[in-house]
Amino acid sequence: MTTILLIEQILNGLQSGIMLFLMAAGLTLIFGVMGLINLAHGSLYMVGAFAAAAVAAATGSFALGLVAALIAAAAAGALIELVVIRRLYDRDHLDQVLATFALILVFSEGTRWLFGSFPLYLDVPAALSGPVTLPGGILYPAYRLLIIGVGLLIAVGLFALIARTRIGIQIRAGEADREMIAALGVDISKLYTLVFALGAALAGLAGAMVGAIQSVQVGMGEPVLILAFVVIVIGGIGSIKGALVGALLVGLTDTLGGVLLPLGFGAFMDQSAATSIGSALASMSIYILMAGVLLFKPTGLFGEG
Protein backbone atom coordinates (compact mmCIF):
# COMPACT_ATOMS: atom_id res chain seq x y z
CA MET A 1 0.00 0.00 0.00
CA THR A 2 1.21 3.44 -0.80
CA THR A 3 2.03 6.02 1.81
CA ILE A 4 -0.54 8.34 0.30
CA LEU A 5 -3.30 5.81 0.73
CA LEU A 6 -2.16 5.17 4.30
CA ILE A 7 -2.20 8.88 5.14
CA GLU A 8 -5.65 9.15 3.61
CA GLN A 9 -6.88 6.32 5.78
CA ILE A 10 -5.32 7.86 8.87
CA LEU A 11 -7.15 11.09 8.10
CA ASN A 12 -10.38 9.13 7.67
CA GLY A 13 -9.76 7.49 11.03
CA LEU A 14 -9.17 10.89 12.62
CA GLN A 15 -12.36 12.20 11.07
CA SER A 16 -14.52 9.38 12.35
CA GLY A 17 -12.72 9.49 15.71
CA ILE A 18 -13.33 13.19 16.20
CA MET A 19 -17.05 12.75 15.46
CA LEU A 20 -17.16 9.90 17.97
CA PHE A 21 -15.57 12.26 20.44
CA LEU A 22 -18.49 14.68 20.09
CA MET A 23 -20.86 11.83 21.02
CA ALA A 24 -18.69 10.38 23.77
CA ALA A 25 -17.93 13.77 25.35
CA GLY A 26 -21.63 14.47 25.88
CA LEU A 27 -22.29 10.99 27.23
CA THR A 28 -19.37 11.02 29.60
CA LEU A 29 -20.20 14.55 30.81
CA ILE A 30 -23.79 13.53 31.49
CA PHE A 31 -22.62 10.44 33.29
CA GLY A 32 -19.97 12.29 35.26
CA VAL A 33 -22.22 15.11 36.40
CA MET A 34 -25.60 13.43 36.76
CA GLY A 35 -24.65 9.76 37.12
CA LEU A 36 -26.99 8.91 34.26
CA ILE A 37 -26.55 6.39 31.47
CA ASN A 38 -28.38 7.76 28.45
CA LEU A 39 -29.16 5.27 25.68
CA ALA A 40 -31.20 7.94 23.88
CA HIS A 41 -28.06 9.92 23.05
CA GLY A 42 -28.07 8.27 19.63
CA SER A 43 -31.57 9.61 19.06
CA LEU A 44 -30.28 13.15 19.60
CA TYR A 45 -27.62 12.46 16.97
CA MET A 46 -30.41 11.41 14.63
CA VAL A 47 -32.52 14.47 15.50
CA GLY A 48 -29.59 16.72 14.57
CA ALA A 49 -29.12 14.97 11.24
CA PHE A 50 -32.81 15.13 10.32
CA ALA A 51 -33.11 18.78 11.34
CA ALA A 52 -30.07 19.65 9.24
CA ALA A 53 -31.35 17.70 6.23
CA ALA A 54 -34.84 19.21 6.44
CA VAL A 55 -33.66 22.81 6.91
CA ALA A 56 -30.90 22.53 4.33
CA ALA A 57 -33.41 21.14 1.82
CA ALA A 58 -35.87 23.94 2.56
CA THR A 59 -33.42 26.85 2.57
CA GLY A 60 -30.64 25.52 0.39
CA SER A 61 -28.12 26.54 3.04
CA PHE A 62 -25.91 23.95 4.66
CA ALA A 63 -24.82 26.41 7.34
CA LEU A 64 -28.43 27.06 8.33
CA GLY A 65 -28.85 23.29 8.44
CA LEU A 66 -26.02 22.99 10.95
CA VAL A 67 -27.51 25.76 13.09
CA ALA A 68 -30.86 23.97 12.95
CA ALA A 69 -29.18 20.72 14.01
CA LEU A 70 -27.65 22.40 17.06
CA ILE A 71 -30.90 24.07 18.05
CA ALA A 72 -33.14 21.05 17.42
CA ALA A 73 -30.90 18.61 19.27
CA ALA A 74 -30.37 20.97 22.21
CA ALA A 75 -34.12 21.63 22.40
CA ALA A 76 -34.95 17.92 22.19
CA GLY A 77 -32.34 17.27 24.86
CA ALA A 78 -33.68 19.96 27.17
CA LEU A 79 -37.22 18.71 26.61
CA ILE A 80 -36.53 15.08 27.50
CA GLU A 81 -34.41 16.21 30.44
CA LEU A 82 -37.31 18.23 31.81
CA VAL A 83 -40.00 15.64 31.14
CA VAL A 84 -38.30 12.29 31.67
CA ILE A 85 -34.61 12.28 32.48
CA ARG A 86 -34.73 14.28 35.71
CA ARG A 87 -37.02 11.67 37.23
CA LEU A 88 -34.23 9.13 36.67
CA TYR A 89 -31.28 10.72 38.51
CA ASP A 90 -32.11 8.98 41.75
CA ARG A 91 -33.09 5.71 40.12
CA ASP A 92 -30.82 2.73 39.57
CA HIS A 93 -29.10 2.09 36.26
CA LEU A 94 -31.67 -0.50 35.22
CA ASP A 95 -34.46 2.09 35.31
CA GLN A 96 -32.26 4.55 33.40
CA VAL A 97 -31.54 1.94 30.73
CA LEU A 98 -35.20 1.06 30.33
CA ALA A 99 -36.55 4.59 30.26
CA THR A 100 -33.96 5.77 27.77
CA PHE A 101 -34.50 2.61 25.68
CA ALA A 102 -38.19 3.58 25.66
CA LEU A 103 -37.16 7.04 24.47
CA ILE A 104 -35.27 5.47 21.55
CA LEU A 105 -38.43 3.65 20.50
CA VAL A 106 -40.46 6.87 20.68
CA PHE A 107 -37.85 8.96 18.83
CA SER A 108 -37.15 6.38 16.14
CA GLU A 109 -40.75 5.54 15.32
CA GLY A 110 -41.80 9.17 15.69
CA THR A 111 -39.16 10.20 13.16
CA ARG A 112 -40.19 7.40 10.82
CA TRP A 113 -43.77 8.63 11.12
CA LEU A 114 -42.77 12.23 10.33
CA PHE A 115 -40.21 11.63 7.60
CA GLY A 116 -40.99 8.15 6.31
CA SER A 117 -38.68 5.15 6.09
CA PHE A 118 -36.57 6.35 3.20
CA PRO A 119 -33.22 7.97 3.91
CA LEU A 120 -32.84 11.71 3.40
CA TYR A 121 -29.79 13.16 1.74
CA LEU A 122 -27.84 16.10 3.00
CA ASP A 123 -25.48 17.53 0.43
CA VAL A 124 -22.07 18.86 1.22
CA PRO A 125 -21.97 22.55 0.19
CA ALA A 126 -20.49 23.05 -3.26
CA ALA A 127 -17.54 25.08 -2.00
CA LEU A 128 -16.41 22.14 0.13
CA SER A 129 -17.31 19.25 -2.13
CA GLY A 130 -13.97 19.10 -3.94
CA PRO A 131 -10.61 17.92 -2.70
CA VAL A 132 -7.82 20.06 -1.35
CA THR A 133 -4.16 19.37 -1.89
CA LEU A 134 -2.21 18.67 1.27
CA PRO A 135 1.57 18.92 1.67
CA GLY A 136 3.13 15.99 -0.15
CA GLY A 137 0.59 16.20 -2.93
CA ILE A 138 -2.13 14.26 -1.13
CA LEU A 139 -5.63 15.02 -2.33
CA TYR A 140 -8.19 14.92 0.46
CA PRO A 141 -11.89 15.94 0.51
CA ALA A 142 -12.19 19.48 1.86
CA TYR A 143 -15.36 18.68 3.77
CA ARG A 144 -13.78 15.85 5.75
CA LEU A 145 -10.87 18.13 6.56
CA LEU A 146 -13.37 20.70 7.78
CA ILE A 147 -14.98 18.10 10.02
CA ILE A 148 -11.62 17.31 11.60
CA GLY A 149 -10.98 21.01 12.11
CA VAL A 150 -14.40 21.74 13.61
CA GLY A 151 -14.13 18.70 15.88
CA LEU A 152 -10.71 19.75 17.16
CA LEU A 153 -11.95 23.30 17.75
CA ILE A 154 -14.86 21.96 19.77
CA ALA A 155 -12.54 19.71 21.74
CA VAL A 156 -10.37 22.70 22.62
CA GLY A 157 -13.46 24.71 23.46
CA LEU A 158 -14.77 21.96 25.75
CA PHE A 159 -11.50 21.70 27.61
CA ALA A 160 -11.48 25.48 28.04
CA LEU A 161 -15.11 25.47 29.15
CA ILE A 162 -14.47 22.86 31.81
CA ALA A 163 -11.13 24.24 32.96
CA ARG A 164 -11.72 27.98 32.91
CA THR A 165 -15.32 29.07 33.03
CA ARG A 166 -17.74 29.50 35.87
CA ILE A 167 -20.02 26.83 34.47
CA GLY A 168 -17.04 24.50 34.13
CA ILE A 169 -16.23 24.96 37.79
CA GLN A 170 -19.82 24.12 38.63
CA ILE A 171 -19.67 21.02 36.44
CA ARG A 172 -16.48 19.84 38.10
CA ALA A 173 -17.91 20.55 41.53
CA GLY A 174 -21.04 18.63 40.56
CA GLU A 175 -18.95 15.63 39.60
CA ALA A 176 -17.20 15.72 42.92
CA ASP A 177 -20.09 16.35 45.25
CA ARG A 178 -23.71 17.10 44.49
CA GLU A 179 -24.52 18.41 47.94
CA MET A 180 -21.58 20.75 48.03
CA ILE A 181 -22.55 22.45 44.82
CA ALA A 182 -26.12 22.86 46.08
CA ALA A 183 -24.72 24.35 49.25
CA LEU A 184 -22.78 26.85 47.14
CA GLY A 185 -26.11 28.15 45.92
CA VAL A 186 -25.95 26.82 42.37
CA ASP A 187 -29.31 25.96 40.87
CA ILE A 188 -28.67 22.25 40.31
CA SER A 189 -31.69 21.48 38.20
CA LYS A 190 -30.85 24.34 35.84
CA LEU A 191 -27.23 23.18 35.64
CA TYR A 192 -28.36 19.63 34.82
CA THR A 193 -30.69 20.79 32.07
CA LEU A 194 -27.88 22.91 30.66
CA VAL A 195 -25.32 20.09 30.70
CA PHE A 196 -27.83 17.74 29.11
CA ALA A 197 -28.69 20.24 26.38
CA LEU A 198 -24.98 20.85 25.75
CA GLY A 199 -24.34 17.12 25.36
CA ALA A 200 -27.37 16.88 23.08
CA ALA A 201 -26.16 19.77 20.92
CA LEU A 202 -22.78 18.10 20.45
CA ALA A 203 -24.50 14.86 19.43
CA GLY A 204 -26.81 16.73 17.05
CA LEU A 205 -23.90 18.54 15.44
CA ALA A 206 -22.04 15.27 14.95
CA GLY A 207 -25.16 13.73 13.42
CA ALA A 208 -25.56 16.60 10.96
CA MET A 209 -21.91 16.68 9.91
CA VAL A 210 -21.68 12.90 9.45
CA GLY A 211 -25.11 12.91 7.81
CA ALA A 212 -23.64 14.84 4.90
CA ILE A 213 -21.17 12.00 4.24
CA GLN A 214 -23.52 9.11 4.91
CA SER A 215 -27.28 9.03 4.56
CA VAL A 216 -29.71 10.46 7.09
CA GLN A 217 -32.02 7.72 8.32
CA VAL A 218 -33.85 6.31 11.31
CA GLY A 219 -31.60 4.07 13.36
CA MET A 220 -28.40 5.91 12.33
CA GLY A 221 -27.70 6.94 15.92
CA GLU A 222 -27.51 3.67 17.79
CA PRO A 223 -24.45 2.12 16.11
CA VAL A 224 -22.63 5.39 16.83
CA LEU A 225 -23.95 5.34 20.41
CA ILE A 226 -22.53 1.87 20.96
CA LEU A 227 -19.19 2.94 19.47
CA ALA A 228 -19.24 5.91 21.84
CA PHE A 229 -19.79 3.47 24.72
CA VAL A 230 -16.73 1.54 23.58
CA VAL A 231 -14.85 4.86 23.55
CA ILE A 232 -15.93 5.58 27.12
CA VAL A 233 -15.05 2.11 28.36
CA ILE A 234 -11.58 2.55 26.83
CA GLY A 235 -11.09 6.14 27.98
CA GLY A 236 -12.68 5.88 31.42
CA ILE A 237 -16.01 7.25 32.57
CA GLY A 238 -16.31 10.96 33.28
CA SER A 239 -13.02 11.92 31.65
CA ILE A 240 -13.14 14.29 28.66
CA LYS A 241 -9.50 13.57 28.00
CA GLY A 242 -10.26 9.85 28.08
CA ALA A 243 -13.11 10.43 25.64
CA LEU A 244 -10.77 12.20 23.20
CA VAL A 245 -8.00 9.60 23.37
CA GLY A 246 -10.50 6.73 23.27
CA ALA A 247 -12.38 8.23 20.33
CA LEU A 248 -9.23 8.69 18.26
CA LEU A 249 -8.04 5.18 19.10
CA VAL A 250 -11.39 3.68 18.12
CA GLY A 251 -11.66 5.78 14.95
CA LEU A 252 -8.17 4.85 13.80
CA THR A 253 -8.46 1.17 14.74
CA ASP A 254 -11.79 0.83 12.97
CA THR A 255 -10.69 2.58 9.78
CA LEU A 256 -7.18 1.17 9.52
CA GLY A 257 -8.30 -2.32 10.59
CA GLY A 258 -10.80 -2.40 7.73
CA VAL A 259 -8.04 -1.62 5.23
CA LEU A 260 -4.97 -3.27 6.70
CA LEU A 261 -6.35 -6.60 7.96
CA PRO A 262 -7.57 -7.89 4.57
CA LEU A 263 -4.26 -6.74 3.05
CA GLY A 264 -2.31 -8.43 5.83
CA PHE A 265 -4.10 -11.73 5.39
CA GLY A 266 -3.68 -11.40 1.64
CA ALA A 267 0.07 -11.72 2.15
CA PHE A 268 -0.23 -15.43 2.96
CA MET A 269 -3.58 -16.66 1.64
CA ASP A 270 -5.69 -16.26 -1.46
CA GLN A 271 -7.36 -12.93 -1.95
CA SER A 272 -11.05 -13.76 -1.49
CA ALA A 273 -10.46 -15.73 1.72
CA ALA A 274 -8.21 -12.95 2.98
CA THR A 275 -10.86 -10.36 2.27
CA SER A 276 -13.57 -12.25 4.11
CA ILE A 277 -11.49 -13.20 7.14
CA GLY A 278 -9.84 -9.78 7.23
CA SER A 279 -13.07 -7.85 7.08
CA ALA A 280 -14.76 -10.13 9.61
CA LEU A 281 -11.88 -9.60 12.02
CA ALA A 282 -11.78 -5.88 11.24
CA SER A 283 -15.44 -5.64 12.26
CA MET A 284 -14.40 -6.99 15.65
CA SER A 285 -11.14 -5.08 16.04
CA ILE A 286 -12.39 -2.24 18.23
CA TYR A 287 -14.13 -4.67 20.56
CA ILE A 288 -10.94 -6.66 20.85
CA LEU A 289 -9.19 -3.38 21.67
CA MET A 290 -11.82 -2.78 24.36
CA ALA A 291 -11.37 -6.29 25.75
CA GLY A 292 -7.63 -5.69 25.91
CA VAL A 293 -8.06 -2.47 27.87
CA LEU A 294 -10.50 -4.24 30.22
CA LEU A 295 -7.97 -6.95 30.94
CA PHE A 296 -5.30 -4.52 32.04
CA LYS A 297 -7.26 -1.52 33.21
CA PRO A 298 -10.90 -2.33 34.00
CA THR A 299 -11.68 1.32 34.75
CA GLY A 300 -10.34 2.60 31.44
CA LEU A 301 -7.15 4.40 30.47
CA PHE A 302 -8.03 7.64 32.27
CA GLY A 303 -10.59 6.28 34.75
CA GLU A 304 -10.22 6.52 38.48
CA GLY A 305 -9.21 3.53 40.52
Partner 1 sequence: MRREAILNIVLFLLLPVTAGAALLLDEPFIITLATKAAILALAGVGLNIALGLGGLVSLGHAAFFGLGGYAMGILAAHAQSYTPLMETPFLIEGTKSMPVIWLVAIVVAGLAALAIGALSLRTSGVYFIMITLAFGQMLYYFAISWPAYGGEDGLSIYVRNGFPGLNTLDPIQFFAIAFVVLALALLLAGRLARSAFGLALSAARQNAERVETVGLAPYRLRLVAFVISGAITGLAGALFADLNRFVSPVMFSWQTSGEIMVFVILGGVGRLYGPVAGAALFILLEHVLGGLSEYWHVYLGLLLLMVVLFARGGLIGTVAGREVAHD
Rg of the chain in Å (alpha carbons): 20
Contact positions with partner 1 (CB under 8 A) in 32-61: 37
Residue 38 or 212: which CB sits closer to partner 1? 38
Site string for partner 1, 284-303 (x = CB under 8 A): x--x--xx--xx--xx----
Strands, E assignment, the chain:
131-134, 138-141
**116 lies in the site for partner 1, by CB under 8 A:** no
Do residues 145 and 132 lie in contact, with contact meaning Cβ atoms separated by under 8 Å? yes
Q: Taking CB under 8 A as the rule, does residue 101 contact partner 1? A: yes
One character per residue 57-96, x = contact with partner 1 (rule: CB under 8 A): ---------------------------x--x-----xxx-
Distance CA 77, CA 67 (A): 15
DSSP label at 155? H
- 145 CB-near residues (< 8 Å, 6+ apart): 11, 132
Binding residues with partner 1: total (CB under 8 A):
42
Considering the rule CB under 8 A, would residue 222 count as an interface residue with partner 1? yes
Q: Looking at 110-118, 121-129, 147-155, 200-208, which segment touches partner 1 (CB under 8 A)?
A: 110-118
CA distances 88 to 75, 176, 194, 276, Å, are 19, 19, 16, 44
* Calculated CA dihedral for residues 192, 28, 70, 116, nearest 10 degrees: -110
Kindly list the residues in this chain that would bind partner 1 in the complex (CB under 8 A): 31, 37, 84, 87, 93-95, 97-99, 101-106, 108-110, 112-113, 222-223, 226, 229-230, 232-233, 237, 276, 279-280, 282-284, 287, 290-291, 294-295, 298-299
